[in-house]
């Protein structure tokens, strides 16, 4: 079945780095734009970043620009989120999500991972 | 960035009630508006895409309408499993944004 599985979360000190992974299966991973979305404890959903199906285009929310980098390895059906200079306010559950239609932008997110928790604390 | 504002922020209702949640965009987004349901400890679930299209597998008691800047999500007859938080999201801009959420609670 179509599935996304995140990994890589954990507890990290402020200023340190962490890389999240999201493994896709059950669909042609290389045909879909992919996103990261996060939810801080007690807060709403916040869109973080997007990468085009081929990795050629990447965009970020202002809150993470310059500190976070999205990438993908289509040969291994894996999406990544490299997070540097982490702050307490980056503490959240991080979800990867697939854009609904192949090769077409501006669509909803129809498949989501289960989420991975990142806690930034000394 | 396009700002999305939902109302109300919370809502109490009973099983069988008809419920409407509103979402307003800070500029026109045509019909690039999606609705999600979020329950604690679970991933968000897509309910409605392109303002009014029902995602496969979603019960027909959910419906969406609107275009431009004003949108609504309607649940025609609340079921126990519908008590959750609902988010709108615009997909007009590459920089996607969500509304702040509407928490639907049992009265």
Angle (CA) B51 B55 B56, round 5°: 160
A47 vs B32: CB contact, 8 Å cut-off? no
Angle (CA) A104 B69 B90, round 5°: 35
A62 vs B1: CB contact, 8 Å cut-off? yes
Contacts of B96 in chain A (CB under 8 A): 35, 47, 50
For the stretch A10-45, pLDDT in tens is: 999 999 999 999 999 999 999 999 999 999 999 999
Residue from A34, A6, A30 nearest A18 by CA = A6
Say what the pLDDT of residue B97 is.
98
Residue A53, pLDDT > 80, answer: yes
Say what the pLDDT of residue A105 is.
79
Residues in chain A: 122
**Measuring CA to CA, how many Å separate A36 from each of A61, A72, B10, B97?**
10, 12, 26, 12
Say what the pLDDT of residue A102 is.
86
- Number of A/B CB contacts below 8 angstroms equals 62
Say what the pLDDT of residue A3 is.
98
The shortest C-alpha distance from B59 to chain A (Å) reads 16
A37 vs B36: CB contact, 8 Å cut-off? no
Model confidence at B89, in pLDDT bands (50, 70, 90)?
Answer: very high
Say what the pLDDT of residue A30 is.
96
What is the DSSP code (8-state) at residue A8?
-
Return the exposure string of A13-49: e unless at least 16 CB atoms fall within 10 Å of the residue's CB, then b: eeeeebebbbbbeebebbebbbbbbbbeeeebbbbbb
| Mean per-residue pLDDT, A58-78 | 97
Residue A104, pLDDT > 80, answer: no
What is the Cβ-side half-sphere exposure of residue A31, based on CA atoms within 13 angstroms? 7
Residue B30 touches chain A, beta carbons under 8 Å = no
B49 vs A100: CB contact, 8 Å cut-off? yes
Model confidence at A68, in pLDDT bands (50, 70, 90)?
Answer: very high
% of chain B beyond a pLDDT of 90: 98
Contacts of A61 in chain B (CB under 8 A): 95
Are A112 and A94 spatial neighbours (Cβ–Cβ below 8 Å)? no
Token pair belonging to A5: 């599985």
| Mean per-residue pLDDT, B20-48 | 98
Residue B50 touches chain A, beta carbons under 8 Å = yes
Q: Which of residues 60-99 of B touch A (CB under 8 A)?
A: 85, 87, 89, 91-92, 94-99
Residue from A53, A49, A86, A55 nearest A71 by CA = A55
Of A24-33, A57-66, A103-112, B34-43, the one with minimum mean pLDDT is: A103-112
Contacts of B50 in chain A (CB under 8 A): 107-108
Burial class (CB in 10 A: 0-12, 13-18, 19+), A99: buried
% of chain A beyond a pLDDT of 70: 100
Say what the pLDDT of residue A29 is.
97
| Mean per-residue pLDDT, A37-60 | 97
Token pair belonging to B16: 């069988």
């Amino acid at each position: 079945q179509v599935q996304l599985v995140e990994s890589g979360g954990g507890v990290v000190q402020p200023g340190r780095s962490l890389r999240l992974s999201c493994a896709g299966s059950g669909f042609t991973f290389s045909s879909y734009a992919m996103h990261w979305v996060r939810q801080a404890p007690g807060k709403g959903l916040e869109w973080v970043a997007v990468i085009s199906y081929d990795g050629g285009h990447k965009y970020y929310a202002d809150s993470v620009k310059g500190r976070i980098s999205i990438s993908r390895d289509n040969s291994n059906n894996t999406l990544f989120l490299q997070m540097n200079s982490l702050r307490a306010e980056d503490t959240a559950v991080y979800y990867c999500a697939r854009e609904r239609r192949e090769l077409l932008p501006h669509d909803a997110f129809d498949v989501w991972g289960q989420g991975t928790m990142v806690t930034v604390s000394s | 960035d396009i700002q999305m504002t939902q109302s109300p922020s919370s809502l109490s209702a009973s099983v069988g009630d008809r419920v409407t949640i509103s979402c307003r965009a800070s500029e026109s987004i045509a019909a690039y508006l999606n609705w999600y349901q979020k329950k604690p400890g679970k991933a968000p679930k897509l309910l409605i895409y392109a303002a009014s299209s029902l995602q496969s597998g979603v019960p027909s008691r959910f419906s969406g309408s609107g275009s431009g800047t004003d949108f609504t999500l309607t649940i025609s007859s609340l079921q126990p499993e519908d008590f959750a938080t609902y988010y709108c999201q615009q997909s007009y801009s590459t920089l996607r944004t969500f509304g702040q959420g509407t928490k639907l609670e049992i009265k």
